[in-house]
Amino acid sequence: MTYARRRASSYKSSKRRKNSAAGDGGIGFVPRNELNVREVFAQRAARLGYRILESRTAYPDYVLGYGPTRLLAEAEYRTSDFLRHRHDIARCDLIVVWEHDLPYMPVPVLELKTGETHRPRRGRPPGRLLGPRGT
């Protein structure tokens, strides 16, 4: 039984092409967690008009320059993760996410999947996101 020899990278490159066609802007992969979202934002920040002045592990993740203003930004995979992690919303000027899954947020949300910035909307978060007794 003979087997046809293939290039070692043929599977990887065909998978990359399929993922790029998924509307991710040609990044080669679809983010699956917060760290991936940070990688994508670092690649796209200049194109979106932001300068990364400082990147850190503690909350908030970034100090950004946007024109003459400085912004504190937090990166999350989904908007609901921001609430689940119980971050202080008063210390954040922008939330950078891959997937915006809430109809409200009191701060602007930059959704990298679509490149859209969702303006702040007032509202009370549903209790089910924070769980019983806000935990």
Give tens-digit pLDDT for 25-53: 566 789 999 999 999 999 999 999 999 99
Whether residue 117 lies inside any domain: the answer is yes
Whether residue 85 lies inside any domain: the answer is yes
**Residues spanned by the domain of 63:** 31-124
Residue 24 carries which side chain, given as an amino acid letter?
A: D
Whether residue 134 lies inside any domain: the answer is no
Whether residue 6 lies inside any domain: the answer is no
pLDDT at 9 over 60: no
The pLDDT value recorded for residue 17 is 43
Q: What are phi and psi of 55, to 5 degrees?
A: -120, 130
76 by Cβ neighbours in 10 Å (0-12 / 13-18 / 19+) ranks as: buried
The percent of residues above 90 in pLDDT, for the chain, comes to 64
Q: Which CA distances in Å does 62 have to 4, 13, 26?
A: 50, 32, 24
* Residues of the chain by 3-state class (helix, strand, coil), percent to 5: 30, 25, 45
CA–CA separation, 107 and 122 (whole Å): 9
In DSSP terms, 109 is beta-bridged to: 95, 118
The pLDDT value recorded for residue 28 is 75
Domains of the chain: total: 1
DSSP-based three-state secondary structure for 134: helix
